[in-house]
Amino acid sequence: MAENLTPIDADLLAEIANIHGMPKGAFNIRKDGQLVERNSSANIEIATKTDHPGIDIHIKPGTKGETVFIPVIVTESGLKDVVYNTFYIGEDCDVNIIAGCGIHNSSHAASEHDGIHTFYCGKNSHVKYVEKHYGEGEGTGERILNPVTNVVMEEGSSCEMELVQLRGVTSTVRDTNAELGAGAKLVLTEKLLTHDDQTATSNMKVELKGEDASVQVISRSVAQDRSVQVFNPLVIGESKCRGHVQCDAIIMGDAKVTAIPGIEAASEDAMLVHEAAIGKIAGDQIVKLMTLGLTEEEAEQEILEDFLN
């Protein structure tokens, strides 16, 4: 890894992107608002934007089996980092994109990263996108993450998005917007854990514009202590299409969870379903695991990990 990355940096990269040493292929590593290291491949070009801080990623048509890493780490207290990343994915591609942000804050001032990611998915392409957020540090300063994800999907394209927030993020407001063309398929999975006095809001708007477009939204969250979560998805069916929104949450302590799943049909051929469930861990689940030798705390942790995974 680059010489100016510390052991803390390396741990953050491993946590959010499973990076150990130098990635292979195309990657862009950013720290405290500055480029650390970048590499393009024969099929994937990464270039600095000329109008905003951030990068443009061009993936050639027909590219298959390649992975792009674009992690961000923040270790500078008091920094507000805003970055715009735009992905242009050609036709007939099959690629993975690994993003995420890790914040280590050891001071009293807030550290913040706002990543605005836009994806243009070409015809018949498949994209798997994983974004993990994580915060740590012994300081009292807030660790703030406000991501925006915009997806435009052309005919026959498919996209799997896994949006994960691990421990340690003080507050987050996530906005996700998607427009689907004919035959496009989006699977959007959100996993969220909050604790202490943390707050998290997730807003989603998915527009099914083309014939036979489909979306599946799955949210799984755990709210502990005094944390507060709000889940606010909206799926709009504008043609013959299918949409399903599912929200499942576990609430613990004095936490609060609000789920407001919404569906809106603008076509008589739209088939849209939403459901939400919020509850505590069942006592018999804990008892069953304790009979296998686990302590109550270990049993509870096992249940939470299984629920989120």
Residues 137-162 have pLDDT tens digits of 988 999 999 999 999 999 999 999 99
Least confident of 237-241, 255-259, 303-307: 303-307
Q: State yes or no: pLDDT of 40 exceeds 70.
A: yes
How far, CA to CA in Å, does 195 sit from each of 88, 92, 141, 251?
37, 42, 16, 10
d(CA 129, CA 238): 25
d(CA 32, CA 74): 5
- Does this model's pTM top 0.75? My answer is yes
Contact (Cβ atoms closer than 8 angstroms) between residue 222 and residue 194: yes
DSSP state of 122: P
248: β partners = 220, 277
- pLDDT of the residue at 4: 66
User: Are 44 and 66 contacting, i.e. CB atoms less than 8 angstroms apart?
Assistant: yes
Look up residue 278 and give its two tokens: 């919020």
Q: Is the dihedral of CA 197, 277, 253, 100 positive or negative?
A: negative
d(CA 197, CA 279): 19
Going from the C-alpha of 250 to that of each of 228, 278, 279, 285, the distances in angstroms are 12, 6, 5, 13
Confidence of residue 301 (pLDDT cuts 50, 70, 90): confident
- 2 has a pLDDT exceeding 80: no
Q: Looking at residue 4, what DSSP letter applies? A: T
Give the up-direction half-sphere exposure of residue 262: CA atoms within 13 A in the CB hemisphere.
13
Other CB atoms closer than 10 Å to residue 257's CB: what's the count?
22
Q: 103-107, 147-151, 301-305: lowest mean pLDDT where?
A: 301-305
How many CA within 13 A on the CB side of residue 215?
A: 34
- What are phi and psi for residue 284, nearest 5 degrees? -70, -25
How many Å is the Cα radius of gyration of the chain? 20
- pLDDT value of position 130: 97
For 186-236, the pLDDT digits (tens) are 999 999 999 999 999 999 999 999 999 999 999 999 999 999 999 999 999
